[in-house]
Amino acid sequence: MPEPPFDVPRLPAGDSLALRPWTLADLPLVEEASGDPYIPLITTVPSAYSHAAGVAFVERQWDRAAHGTGWPFVVERVADGRAVGTVGLWSAPHARASAGYWVAPSARGGGAALAGLRAATAWAFAALGLARVELYVEPWNTASRRTAESAGFRPEGLLRSWQEVGGARRDMLMYARLPTDPVG
Ligand SMILES: CC(C)(COP(=O)(O)OP(=O)(O)OC[C@H]1O[C@@H](n2cnc3c(N)ncnc32)[C@H](O)[C@@H]1OP(=O)(O)O)[C@@H](O)C(=O)NCCC(=O)NCCS
């Protein structure tokens, strides 16, 4: 594990996407995500968008890297540089990290989260020497479960009443991938 502060590199993600750090040019992505019914419930994306709230969100991503709590990536479409979503790795003890991802509603259906998750996880194992990447998915969230499974993550169990989401306790499926697991 590298010592903090962490660097967020630019990485290829499949044929047409790339992972890169957040910039203030990504505010339209934050604004679109604010209008999604679910993303603000599970992230710090503001549910009521304003320019100031969007800037504060991007600054929180910079702080995470600067203070060593994680590696927040934007998923960018290489052809036009458009930011379509995000993948983040959040540092945990014992050479572990947890992953999270979301895609702008207008960019869904193209496997952006899958390409981003594959790239971030491969980098975490190769460059950071992590032993395990975990992620948590609500059982109803088929698109996220498919994304995790296609990226080689395996379900390890149902975590009952794991966290509060939108004011109610929710169960979460825990998925994990080890460096020795097949890519999927
Ligand atoms: C989860 C999310 C990132 C997936 O977006 P995406 O990368 O565009 O994924 P896709 O739309 O390509 O869907 C991935 C797979 O799920 C399937 N899928 C998508 N929506 C589905 C639905 N409502 N019911 C069943 N299957 C669905 C797709 O057909 C695809 O299947 P495939 O692997 O067989 O091709 C996106 O839905 C999202 O941002 N959701 C809100 C935030 C969220 O839930 N994040 C994850 C938290 S754990």
Nearest-atom number in ligand 1 for the CA of 36 is: 41
Decide if 156 contacts 149 (C-beta within 8 A): no
Q: Residue 147 CA: which ligand 1 atom is closest?
A: 14
Q: pLDDT value at position 68?
A: 86
- CATH number attached to the domain at 11-131: 3.40.630.30
How many whole angstroms separate alpha carbon 142 and alpha carbon 101? Answer: 14
Evaluate the omega torsion of the peptide bond into residue 9 and state whether it is cis, within 30 degrees of 0.
no
What separation in Å is there between the alpha carbon of 2 and the centre of ligand 1?
Answer: 32
Predicted pLDDT at 102: 98
Pairing status of strand 132-137 against strand 96-103: parallel
What are the residue boundaries of the structural domains of the chain, listed by start?
11-131
Whether the full predicted model's pTM is greater than 0.75, yes or no, is: yes
Q: Are 114 and 127 in contact (CB under 8 A)?
A: no
Residue 1: pLDDT band by 50, 70, 90 thresholds?
A: low
Rounded to whole angstroms, the Cα distance separating 29 from 32 reads 5
pLDDT at 67 over 70: yes
Is the pLDDT reported for residue 94 higher than 90?
yes
DSSP H or E stretch at residue 72: strand 70-77
